Structure 1
Amino acid sequence: MFASRIRFGAGALAISGILFVIYPALRPFSDERSLLGAAAFGSGAWLGSHMLAIVAFTLLPLGLLGLQRSLLGTSAERLLFVAVVLSMIGTGFTLPFYGGETYGLHALGQEALRLHSDSPLGLTEAIRSGPGLVMFLAGLLLLAVSAIVTATALWRSCRYPKACGIPFAVGISLYIPQFFGAQPLRVAHGLLVAAGCMWMAACLWRREQVDRNR
């Protein structure tokens, strides 16, 4: 049971990383003040890509939980526990905003297309601003702190390569700035996050194999 939970954590990290790349690659980008923006919002690609982002964020705490379990009995275990808690809270703060992006803007885009008018798009900023935006930014900051704590714990641990958490920490810490970039930059950022997730997943999987063969 213990080993299966660790393998589940490795799988969660790997899948999360892959989805962090697919999300910006699949997400349509356009002038969001025009009917082109309405077509983007109302498309299946918009709905699907944002749902994948929601799954990606949801899997992160599960992956970190697998890392924490693999470090039971070590000095790094407590740090990973802190990282898991921060990641859970950060994810909880982040997902409501993605819900508005996913379903609210999708419905808005479809209504604009039905009316063949860009007037409903005036509500875009209302959906993306206010208390929801504040909670979203707080969630991403908590996720960044969680990723940095994760990298610190892995650096201190004798069970993993010291640098294996650094790409993940850098990628998650850059999540807010990358929103100001164009699609190629955002895909590149997704690749960085994916590389970090995949490296930790591979290390976690190998660690479980070593422990099982002892």
Structure 2
Amino acid sequence: MSDRKTTFLLLITGVLFVIYPVLRPYSTETGTAGADAFASPLWIAAHVSAMLGFIALALVVRAMQVGQFAESATWIGVGLLLPYYGAETFALNVLGVRAQETGDVTLVDLAEPIRYGPVQVTMFGLGLVAIAVGVIALAREVATWQGWVFAAGFVLFLPQFFGPPWIRVAHGLLILGGSVALAVKLAQPKARQEISTITGA
């Protein structure tokens, strides 16, 4: 894949992971407030952005040709995450809409078993671990600080879920910053030659 396409994919990845926390409605996710958050069109837009962001990430790793291990780990991680994000996006949105229509806000309580069943939580956790392993392998191959900043955003993906909204937005900006820094680095002819020598591409 051309350097221009790789740069484009990096920038798209960063932008999508900023859109995710910025658009996402935040609430207690219980009662009427939870129903309103889940039912919002922004709920779908934000989470679809995250799903597209993970796909873009996998394409970045493939485009950079940093090795089969990094690519396989990242794609496996994305494959494990997407079903969880699908349920988070669409099932919770349906719960919110139905709660608003019927006035039965106890429907929002179903969000917990949808999210935290043992199978889905395990897939989600393993997916994030696999992606972290993949991007760390990428950073090791690229061997620049830009690569490590890019990787840090995905290594920290799980902890940021436990922070307040501003932490989640800051995390999205970290991914964007890493994406832009790595894209700028790759745009430099000397850097492209060095990385190609390191990776054997």
Query: Structure 1 length normalisation: TM-score?
Result: 0.85
1:122 to 2:104 alignment: no
Q: What code does the residue aligned with 2:8 have?
A: G
Work out the number of aligned pairs and report it.
192
Q: What code does the residue aligned with 1:175 have?
A: F
Q: What code does the residue aligned with 1:13 have?
A: L
Measured in 2, the distance between the counterparts of 1:170 and 1:62 equals: 18
Question: Which of the numbers 13, 17, 21 marks the counterpart of 1:16?
Answer: 13
- Which structure 2 segments of 5+ residues have no match? 194-201
Measured in 1, the distance between the counterparts of 2:59 and 2:190 equals: 16
Per the alignment, in what secondary structure is the counterpart of residue 98 of structure 1? helix
- CA RMSD for the aligned pairs? 1.6
Q: What code does the residue aligned with 2:178 have?
A: G
Q: What code does the residue aligned with 2:160 have?
A: Q
Q: What code does the residue aligned with 1:124 have?
A: A
**Once superposed, which parts of structure 1, at least 4 consecutive aligned residues long, lie more than 6 Å away?**
208-211
**What are the superposed Cα offsets for residues 4-48 of structure 1, whole Å, 9 maximum, x if unpaired?**
xx3222211110111101110110000111111101100110011
Which structure 2 residues correspond to residues 172-183 of structure 1 after superposition, within 5 A?
Answer: 172-183=154-165
Query: Structure 2 length normalisation: TM-score?
Result: 0.90
Measured in 2, the distance between the counterparts of 1:11 and 1:208 equals: 19
Residue identity over aligned pairs, in percent, reads: 39
Would the aligned equivalents of 1:7 and 1:66 in 2 still touch at CA under 8 Å? no
1:205 to 2:187 alignment: yes
Measured in 2, the distance between the counterparts of 1:82 and 1:8 equals: 22
- Which structure 1 segments of 5+ residues have no match? 69-76, 156-161
Which structure 2 residues correspond to residues 1-214 of structure 1 after superposition, within 5 A?
Answer: 2-3=1-2, 6-68=3-65, 77=66, 80-130=67-117, 131-155=119-143, 162-207=144-189
More helix by share: 2
